Amino acid sequence: MVLDPYFEPAVGGDKAFTVEAPKIKFGTGSLSEIGDDAKALGMTRVALYTDPVVAKLAPLATARKSLEAAGIDVVVYDETEVEPTDRSFKAGTAFARDGNFDGFVSVGGGSVMDTAKASNLYSTYPDDFLAYVNAPVGAAKPVPGPLKPHIACPTTFGTASECTGIAIFDLLEMEAKTGIANARLRPNLGILDPSALATLPRSIVAANGFDVFSHAVESLTARPFSQRPAPENSNLRPLGQGANPYSDMACLESIRLIGAHLIDAVNETDNSAHHEALMFAGMLAGIGFGNAGCHLPHGMSYAVAGLVRGYNPPGWPSNHPMVPHGISVIVNAPAVFRFTGPACPERHLKAAEAMGADISGVALSDAGGALADRVIDMMRQTDMPNGLQGVGYTEDDLENLTDKAFPQKRLLDNSPQVPDRDQLKELFRASLSYW
Ligand SMILES: NC(=O)c1ccc[n+]([C@@H]2O[C@H](COP(=O)([O-])OP(=O)(O)OC[C@H]3O[C@@H](n4cnc5c(N)ncnc54)[C@H](O)[C@@H]3O)[C@@H](O)[C@H]2O)c1
Ligand SMILES: [Fe+2]
């Protein structure tokens, strides 16, 4: 008996899945408890990471006040770059190195949480910058030992960086997005206070919402864990182990919440009624992809973000052109669902239904199409760019995009239908525009 026919055992396939559970506190007002949490982790002098925008907002003041009330020294670093680069990771590291801190707190979006993780790592175990970076770009050296305690407090809801041991950045000299991935980078505690979303601009709400949706749907439709080749020993089982019964639960509920709340949260002037649902959806998707792993939309997104030329998105203050993460993911997603639909049609149909599509009368053979249509409809209702052309790419870029995305083997192999190079190029072509 298997829990779902999708996980039917396969010859040579993995027989087990693991469950990684981040430590999370969730609730409106929970940020004001951070002083006690930091003390319990032994912090006496904290590096408080944020960015120039969040530095002026209520969540930063709340965290600072609570830390200081607990008798903790706090020094604020507010120079984090949005969509960080190696340059900004190095600047954050210099701040950590010079400050003699015994704890890290991050208050901000994925950019801030990731910068705090990297600064903690490089200031605690200094090494060549590329030493810890994922192969093949870097040497993927394991983190040598425990890091200083880190409490991550998101003020966005898309990345789930508070749940993961991942720090993403743009390596400027290679025009490539890459990252550092190691379980030791996972924050000791994530504090999710939905009231922190009160000031989030609507375009960022939309991009975050689609990032959450894509984490959830990619994890739900990922290759089943039972078909990934079994590891040589149990310590080598990857974090992205493929779809499994645990991540399924979290992902379907996450998709349902995004389907029910995202359009209104983007379009209503006062969207506070949706903050709790959005933040919970982001957390659930983080638990989902932290255990299952993403696949093609994320694999393709690193090329879309890395090769950006002149795109400056409305709503994002930035000192360099960029395609924000959620946008770089969702512009590929509809084309991907049409391609992966036939590999696990029931799962695509379930996702379409959870997202709010009317699936009565939809044949299984059109499950990927039904999901793609619902996503396109939601992109239009939330003013997302119209595919790759909407963020500045043309036919002439397809070869370059394919070259950059094809080496993302870990993500491509986690797809229920693994594309060859020509198919990947056709996926980029199909992503050029949707309406
Ligand atoms: N570590 C991971 O597991 C992981 C996963 C996915 C993405 N990422 C990375 O995270 C980064 C994106 O993070 P993000 O989407 O959370 O956004 P972000 O941190 O880049 O912030 C986007 C913008 O929103 C502003 N902002 C943040 N909170 C705000 C608030 N409450 N009110 C008003 N403005 C606010 C910021 O100042 C910034 O201008 C990318 O670099 C991406 O690659 C990391
Ligand atoms: Fe993402």
Ligand 1 atom closest to 111 (CA):
19
What's the 343 CA to ligand 1 centre distance in angstroms?
A: 33
Q: State the average pLDDT over residues 349-373.
A: 97
* Residue located nearest, by CA, to atom 19 of ligand 1: 109
Choosing from 50, 159, 322 the residue with most ligand 1 atoms within 8 A of its CB, the one to mutate for a pocket test is: 159
User: How far is it, in rounded angstroms, from Cα 71 to Cα 39?
Assistant: 9
Q: State the average pLDDT over residues 306-331.
A: 88
The closest ligand to the CA of 168 turns out to be 1
The per-type count for the chain, helices as H runs and strands as E runs, is: 15, 8
C-alpha pair distances (Å), 61 with each of 67, 144, 284, 348: 10, 34, 27, 43
* Residue located nearest, by CA, to atom 10 of ligand 1: 110
What's the 362 CA to ligand 2 centre distance in angstroms?
A: 29
Q: Which strand (E) or helix (H) includes residue 46? A: strand 45-49
pLDDT band at 1 (very low <50, low <70, confident <90, very high): low
Instruction: Give CA 154 to chain center in angstroms.
Output: 12
User: How far is it, in rounded angstroms, from Cα 401 to Cα 348?
Assistant: 26
Return the pLDDT at 143. Answer: 94
Residue 210 clears pLDDT 70, i.e. is over it: yes
Residue 404 clears pLDDT 80, i.e. is over it: yes
Residue 239 clears pLDDT 90, i.e. is over it: no
The closest ligand to the CA of 216 turns out to be 2
Residue 86 clears pLDDT 70, i.e. is over it: yes
* Residue located nearest, by CA, to atom 2 of ligand 1: 161
Q: Which of 11-20, 205-214, 230-239, 270-279 has the lowest mean pLDDT?
A: 230-239
The closest ligand to the CA of 58 turns out to be 1
What's the 333 CA to ligand 1 centre distance in angstroms?
A: 20
Domain 201-430 fold is Dehydroquinate synthase-like, alpha domain (1.20.1090)
* Residue located nearest, by CA, to atom 12 of ligand 1: 110
Q: Which strand (E) or helix (H) includes residue 104? A: strand 103-108
Ligand 1 atom closest to 117 (CA):
1
Return the pLDDT at 167. Answer: 95
Q: Which strand (E) or helix (H) includes residue 304? A: helix 296-306
Return the pLDDT at 349. Answer: 98
Return the pLDDT at 318. Answer: 67
What's the 202 CA to ligand 2 centre distance in angstroms?
A: 18
* Residue located nearest, by CA, to atom 23 of ligand 1: 316
| Domain ranges within the chain, ordered by starting residue | 24-197, 201-430
The closest ligand to the CA of 294 turns out to be 2
In this structure, the residues whose C-beta lies within 6 A of any atom of ligand 1 are 51, 53-54, 57, 82-84, 108-112, 114, 155-156, 158-159, 161, 164, 166-168, 196-197, 199-200, 204, 208, 316-317, 325
* Helices 202-220 and 275-292: angle between axes, nearest 10 degrees: 40
Q: State the average pLDDT over residues 370-389.
A: 98
Ligand 1 atom closest to 53 (CA):
37
Residue 214 clears pLDDT 80, i.e. is over it: yes
Q: State the average pLDDT over residues 106-132.
A: 97
- Report whether 297 contacts 222 (CB < 8 A): no
The closest ligand to the CA of 218 turns out to be 2
Return the pLDDT at 319. Answer: 66
Mean pLDDT of all residues in the chain? 95
Q: Which of 110-124, 315-329, 386-400 has the lowest mean pLDDT?
A: 315-329
Ligand 1 atom closest to 83 (CA):
41
Q: State the average pLDDT over residues 260-286.
A: 97
Residue 344 clears pLDDT 70, i.e. is over it: yes
Q: State the average pLDDT over residues 283-300.
A: 95
What's the 66 CA to ligand 2 centre distance in angstroms?
A: 30
pLDDT digits (tens, 9 = 90+) for 26-79: 999 999 999 999 999 999 999 999 999 999 999 999 999 999 999 999 999 999
Return the pLDDT at 73. Answer: 98
* Residue located nearest, by CA, to atom 30 of ligand 1: 200
Return the pLDDT at 135. Answer: 83
The closest ligand to the CA of 186 turns out to be 1
Ligand 1 atom closest to 54 (CA):
37
Give the burial class of 85: count Cβ atoms within 10 A of its Cβ; 0-12 exposed, 13-18 middle, 19 or more buried. Answer: middle
pLDDT digits (tens, 9 = 90+) for 141-200: 999 999 999 999 999 999 999 998 899 998 988 877 889 988 899 999 999 999 999 999
pTM for this predicted structure: 0.94
Is 24-197 assigned to CATH 3.10.20.30? no
Q: State the average pLDDT over residues 227-243.
A: 89
User: How far is it, in rounded angstroms, from Cα 202 to Cα 213?
Assistant: 16
> Helix, strand, coil proportions of the chain in percent (round to 5)?
50, 10, 35
* Residue located nearest, by CA, to atom 13 of ligand 1: 110
Residue 321 clears pLDDT 80, i.e. is over it: yes
What's the 298 CA to ligand 2 centre distance in angstroms?
A: 7
Ligand 1 atom closest to 166 (CA):
1
Residue 317 clears pLDDT 80, i.e. is over it: no
Return the pLDDT at 46. Answer: 98
Choosing from 155, 186, 278, 304 the residue with most ligand 1 atoms within 8 A of its CB, the one to mutate for a pocket test is: 155
